[in-house]
Amino acid sequence: MAKNRNEEEQVEETRTQGEGPRINWDQTKMKTTYANVCNVSSTREEVSVLFGTNQSVNVAQNGITVELTDRIILNPYAAKRLTHILSGVLQQYEAAFGPLPID
């Protein structure tokens, strides 16, 4: 499978809003984890986002097992920026591919 440009580069450089300092995105220690489940909790000082995978094979006998693998802890400002970024990405996705019902 061919790697995309971001996976091949160790450091990617971008500028914020066309002005300001150059940001060097160092990807040398980045790992990739798949998640199909997430949960969020918060306190006044932080927002914790837990990621994992649903491992259920036979729900009737064993119940549902969710293996939590990663926790990202954000301050409220970073959490709010993440909210805006994810909302924009999902709006673009739904405009291209249709709505994602989650009922």
pLDDT in tens, 34-63: 999 999 999 999 999 999 999 776 666 777
At residue 17, the pLDDT reads 57
In a domain, residue 101? The reply is yes
In a domain, residue 23? The reply is no
At residue 71, the pLDDT reads 97
3-state SS, residue 37: strand
Question: Residue 79 belongs to what domain range?
Answer: 33-103
In a domain, residue 99? The reply is yes
Do residues 24 and 14 lie in contact, with contact meaning Cβ atoms separated by under 8 Å? no
Alpha helices (H) in 20-75, listed in sequence order: 59-62
Do residues 20 and 38 lie in contact, with contact meaning Cβ atoms separated by under 8 Å? no
Name the stretches of the chain with pLDDT < 70.
1-18, 57-60
The number of C-alpha atoms within 13 Å of 59 and in the hemisphere containing its C-beta is 3
Tally of structural domains, the chain: 1
Amino acid at 72: I
Q: Which of 26, 31, 28 is nearest to 69 (CA)?
A: 31
Do residues 55 and 29 lie in contact, with contact meaning Cβ atoms separated by under 8 Å? no
Token digits of residue 28: 């040398």
